[in-house]
Structure 1
Amino acid sequence: MSGRDEWSVGCRDLAGRRRDVTVFVSSDDKIVLVAPPGEAAVLGPLDVGRLRAALRDAVVVVAQHPE
């Protein structure tokens, strides 16, 4: 796996603090989303687009690794 198999998407928690949702590809080619610890992730429309793009990129990485 390359070092680019991880993406970070900015968001806010319920208190309005800046946080990140992380998307990465695990060693067994699963797509993993990590939300802020113990928090809800509040995404605006642009952030949702970025999350969608990160998920799409992760799927492409997984598809490139035959089982």
Structure 2
Amino acid sequence: MTGRDGRDEWSVGCRDLAGRRRDLTVFVGTDDKIVLVAPPGEAAVLGPLEVGRLRAALRDAVVTMAAPAPRTGT
């Protein structure tokens, strides 16, 4: 998925400790590092399905990071 600022980012649903719906965000940083953003000031509680989605998002981020940059010009 592509975020608002044009970077690749993935969102994974979760809950906080109070049971409210929240999101974890995964994206590739400018220094070729994977960035995981948790709900502000909260712990993220993941069930088995959300763990699978987080794993898939992390895998997709690594694949995106490893893909060669598109060539421009001739």
Tell whether the structures are fold-level matches, with TM greater than 0.5.
yes
Distance 1:19 1:12 in 2: 5
1:18 to 15, 18, 21: 21
Distance 2:29 2:68 in 1: 12
Counterpart AA for 1:13:
D
Aligned to 1:5: 8
**CA apart distance, 1:65:** 4.0
**CA apart distance, 1:26:** 1.1
**CA apart distance, 1:30:** 1.1
Aligned to 1:57: 60
Counterpart AA for 1:5:
D
**CA apart distance, 1:5:** 1.0
Q: Aligned pair 1:45/2:12, yes or no? A: no
RMSD after superposition: 1.5
Stretches of structure 2 that go unaligned for 5 or more consecutive residues are: 70-74
Distance 1:61 1:32 in 2: 13
Stretches of structure 1 that go unaligned for 5 or more consecutive residues are: none
Q: Which has the larger radius of gyration?
A: 2
SS in 1 for 2:62: helix
Aligned to 1:35: 38
- Detail structure 1 runs of 4+ shifted over 3 Å in the superposition: none
Q: How many residues align structurally? A: 65
